[in-house]
Amino acid sequence: MDTIRFLHASDLHLGAECSALGSLAGQRREELYRALETCVGICRKESLDFFLIPGDVFDTDAPDESLVRRVKALFASLEGTEVLIAPGNHDYISARSPYLGEWSSNVHIFLPEGSVFRFPEKETAIYGVGFSASYEKEPLLGRISVDPQDKFRLGVLHGDLTGTGAYNPITEADLRESGLQYVALGHIHQHSGFLQAENTLYAYSGCPEGSGFDETGPRGVCVGCVEKGKVRVEFRTICRRMYLRETVDVTGISGVEELEKAVKETLRERFGETFSQHFYKVLLRGECRLTGEDLQAAQLRLGETLHFCQLRDETLPQGHLQQLAQETSLKGIFVRQMLEKEKLAGTEKEKQLCRQALRLGLKAFEGGVTDFAD
């Protein structure tokens, strides 16, 4: 066999509560499952040889039985593709783990002691180690011994490339000396790009769907091949929705309808006609006259179009800061001091902090601080 082809996806976290989304949580859980369906669809359509999953298929070591049944049935339907799973720190192998149960013959689970699955008809050996607890402070890669006689040699590992910590620390030296041609990594939810340690290519695919506003932007999987000793891999975006933090300039806007229009037009310009399907936290900046009531009304109206949207007001009162600074009131003293602090600030970050403090202070004087938590 001259070529093998594979899909690498990790950290699906099926069954996650998604409680921060409130009434949208159930829908989001199903979207996480549909990300797995998308992966299976790619394997089927492109006749891939292997589906590599380096951990956290499930969000817990004891997922709901009905969810496990769905995943088992989905994998069983995947004819011609071998599925290899290295359990991670969320879905580690415990006494109640679904990985100890019966799976279809094309599904292979790496155990904590480390193991290798060989596919002679494809001249391929795939090595991996699974977590046995939430933490694995000792490096797991040392539990496997790679045979250089294997024509195609892949690895599947959940772990932390910092080389330290409690989640299977991995170093570049470990990978360089592993003898593996490609190592599919899981645990970090951001795609790492493709990294080289001499003859070993390795990568985090990141999660195929974001789980919060700390996981913004496109999410996807890695699809690749090994041919004549060379590894070629590409990242593909597959997420249905993105978590996005966006800044919108609303200078001069004075009404709810204007604000709604400005936000929607800005997002449409940046993300095209499918802009409404994403999760947004929108930072409003500029000088305008918006009250807390305006902000709440605009957010409600935007919610009729956007899948999820929170507004954060960082605007300043339009055109009358200098006028306020002339007042002898407590508010005037506050404005003068903050403008002076901004003037003396040495960096742009310090200036932004001064402007934010000024904005929040003025809102507090008006009794209308509206914000969202980061």
| pLDDT above 60: residue 370 | no
Question: By the 8 A CB rule, do 105 and 48 touch?
Answer: no
Lowest mean pLDDT among 24-28, 239-243, 250-254, 272-276: 250-254
Task: State residue 101's pLDDT score.
Answer: 96
| pLDDT above 80: residue 363 | no
Question: By the 8 A CB rule, do 202 and 191 touch?
Answer: no
Q: How confident is the model at residue 355 (pLDDT cuts 50, 70, 90)?
A: confident
Strand partners of residue 224? 6, 233
Q: Identify the H or E element spanning 154.
A: strand 152-158
Strand pairing category for 279-285 and 243-249: parallel
Q: What is the mean pLDDT of the chain?
A: 93
Task: State residue 342's pLDDT score.
Answer: 86
Helix 348-366 to helix 330-344 angle (10° resolution) is 170
Please provide residue 298's backbone torsions phi and psi, each rounded to the nearest 5 degrees.
Answer: -65, -40
- Does residue 237 sit in helix, strand or coil? strand
319 vs 24, higher pLDDT: 24
Beta strands per DSSP E along 220-300? 220-227, 230-237, 243-249, 279-285, 287-288
pLDDT mean over 98-116:
97
Q: How confident is the model at residue 66 (pLDDT cuts 50, 70, 90)?
A: very high
Task: State residue 84's pLDDT score.
Answer: 98
For residues 259 and 252, give the distance between their C-alpha atoms in angstroms, rounded to a whole number. Answer: 10
pLDDT tens-digit map of 8-26 = 999 999 999 999 899 999 9
Question: CB pairs under 8 A, 24+ apart, for 366-372?
Answer: 366/291, 366/292, 368/291, 368/292, 368/293, 369/292, 370/292, 370/295, 370/296, 370/311, 370/312, 370/313, 371/312, 371/313, 372/281, 372/310, 372/311, 372/312
pLDDT mean over 33-50:
98
Most confident of 43-57, 246-260, 360-374: 43-57
pLDDT mean over 253-269:
95
Place of tokens 């996650």: 16
When computed from its CA atoms, the radius of gyration of the chain, rounded to whole angstroms, is 26
**Within 10 A of 101 (CB to CB), how many other CB atoms are there?**
10
- The pair of three-digit structure tokens given for residue 339, joined into one six-digit string: 């403008």
Q: How confident is the model at residue 362 (pLDDT cuts 50, 70, 90)?
A: confident
Please give the full DSSP string across 60-119, using - where no structure is assigned: SSS--HHHHHHHHHHHHT-TT-EEEE---SSS---TT-GGGS---TTEEE--TT-EEEEE
Q: All domains of the chain, ordered by start, with CATH?
A: 3-237 (3.60.21.10), 243-366 (no CATH)
pTM of the model: 0.87
262 vs 252, higher pLDDT: 262
pLDDT tens-digit map of 161-216 = 988 899 999 999 999 999 999 999 999 999 999 999 999 999 999 999 999 999 99
For residues 164 and 344, give the distance between their C-alpha atoms in angstroms, rounded to a whole number. Answer: 41
For residues 339 and 363, give the distance between their C-alpha atoms in angstroms, rounded to a whole number. Answer: 16
| pLDDT above 80: residue 108 | yes
Percentage of residues in the chain having pLDDT higher than 90: 79
CA distances from residue 271 to 191, 195, 203, 265 in whole angstroms, order as listed:
21, 29, 27, 10
Q: How confident is the model at residue 138 (pLDDT cuts 50, 70, 90)?
A: very high
Task: State residue 369's pLDDT score.
Answer: 57
Task: State residue 373's pLDDT score.
Answer: 52
